[in-house]
Structure 1
Amino acid sequence: MKANIACVLLALAVSSAAAQQLKATQADPCQAKGKMAADVTYCDRYWECIDGAAEQFDCPNGLVFAGRARGLLENCDYPWRGDSCEGKQLANTPVSVGPCDWKYGIFGHESSCIRYWTCWNSTATEQFCIGGLLYNEEKHACDWPEAVEGCQKHPLCKDDANGNVPLGKSCNRYWACQGGYPRLQRCPATLVFDKRSLRCTNPPTEDCEAPPPPPPEDDPNAPAGPAFVEEEEPAAPAPLV
């Protein structure tokens, strides 16, 4: 019986010592310059000095502590914008609603590489990457296609993921495929795009004549050559769905 009591007392002593040690390692926000301190264990929790006493606060679901008057909301920010979670864990579990894994955050689309979701208090807004970019879930941002793995390629580049594709009847513009996604390019001045060799070359080609040269600058009365009409900007290739 005495042995059991001794074991219980020893366990209580160890527990009390651990609690005191944990309490000692937690910074006192009332001693901090900004009257605020990060929690020693959880990166989505912090302490603030209110009327001379330390009070505990949790960040909005999906955000982590960033510092006083810093971050996105209530002194908290997206986890990937800092290193506040290194060596720590989260105190709160995800609150998932629809495409939002957490109440606040940026999340990949379930069926598209060019779309993603921004979530604010569980309200999801669909966003689109532009200019041939794809959503990178590791960076939580739009990125160059070659940096994004596992996404489908654009139909324009199905034959050659890194080749050139003619742009309709245009003589000086074309699509350059990079990593399977097209980017609009223009041939240097005096060159035209050859639809056979799929590169910019000296005119004439089978489809394109040389553009008329401008009149000499020192002879303003010289007759102008045939009018060279600038082509309209082509529409962007149909987006992936």
Structure 2
Amino acid sequence: MLRLCVLVLAAAAAVTAQESFKCPDDYGFYPHSRSCDKYWKCDNGVAELKTCGNGLAFDATDSKFLTENCDYIHNVECNERTQLEPPISAPHCPRLYGIFPDEAKCDVFWNCWNGEASRYQCSPGLAYDRDARVCMWADQVPECKIEEVANGFNCPAPGELANAGSFSRHAHPEDCRKYYVCLEGVAREYGCPIGTVFKIGDSDGSGNCEDPEDVPGCEDYYGDLDVKALKKLGLKK
């Protein structure tokens, strides 16, 4: 029993020591010694312990300690400040703040702000890289399954297309605006600029983006939308 009391008192003393802080100056914002998502706010020499939003961390790069800034954890160098508050999750958000990949589709990611998730999708042929946190070619993203890369489209075997060499373009089987580019046997999905569709060329493995009215079978791709106005505004479908 005595040993238990000693351990409890020691733990309490450690917490008290950890939470005590003497302001170096009357005013400023200072990083916590152990927690990356906590910091001290000093006002008239009085220290107040603050905590960033769940998924954010305190940016301690201001050498003058005059900036109060919580940023996404992946943007902050925590170094020896290794502790973080336990995760608080919401739909599509492992933490309330952050940028997170979709668990089902490798070309989709979510931007979470206070638990509200906004869905984003990479451009055709790209997938969200969890480490770099940018959209990259799908075949370069390890989390992307092979069948998800270019929707399972397979490039022609070397020499199969006359005069195509190692580079060729191919129409998407379902979407007039999309097409595949094969480079050294690797398929990547592209999309024509808004207002145009892909037109198969005269020779094997060739083609370009043209006006829908010049592409048989794709004349009504944009329906009743004003194609000229779309092209002028540069909107995405």
Give me the TM-score of the superposition, normalised by structure 2: 0.59
Alpha-carbon offset, residue 132 of structure 1: 2.5
Which residue does the alignment assign to 2:189? 182
Per-residue displacement from partner, 1:146-198 (whole Å, max 9, x unpaired)?
43113121137324599644445xxxxx842354423479xxxxxx8841xx5
Of the three residues 129, 134, 137, the one matched with 2:130 is: 137
Give TM-score scaled by structure 1 length: 0.58
Q: What does residue 37 of structure 1 align with?
A: 30
Letter in 1 for 2:114: N
Alignment map for 1:166-177 (pairs within 5 Å): 166-167=169-170, 175-177=180-182
Cα offset, 1:142, TM superposition: 1.4
What secondary structure sits across from 2:74 in the alignment? Answer: helix
Match of 1:99 in 2: 92
Distance 1:56 1:13, change over 3 A: closer
In the TM superposition, what is the alpha-carbon distance from 1:31 to its structure 2 partner?
1.1
Residues 101 and 160 of structure 1, relative CA distance in 2, 3 Å threshold: farther
Contact 1:69 1:75 in 2 (8 A): no
Letter in 2 for 1:79: I
Q: Does structure 1 conserve the Cα–Cα contact (< 8 Å) formed by 2:26 and 2:43?
A: no
CA distance in 2, matches of 1:33, 1:193: 76
Does residue 1:232 correspond to 2:210, yes or no? yes
The percent identity for this pair of structures is 28
User: What residue ranges of structure 2 are gaps of 5+ in the alignment?
Assistant: 159-165, 172-178, 193-200, 216-237
Which of the pair is proportionally richer in strand?
2
Residue 130 of structure 1: how far off its partner (Å)? 1.5
Give the ranges of 4+ consecutive aligned residues of structure 1 lying more than 4 Å apart after TM superposition: 7-23, 160-165
8 A contact 1:27–1:40 mirrored in 2: no
> What letter matches 2:30 in structure 1?
A
Please list every run of 5 or more consecutive structure 1 residues that lacks an aligned counterpart in the other structure. 169-173, 186-191, 201-207, 209-229, 236-241
Aligned to 1:48: 41
Map 1:7-18 onto structure 2 (within 5 A).
Answer: none
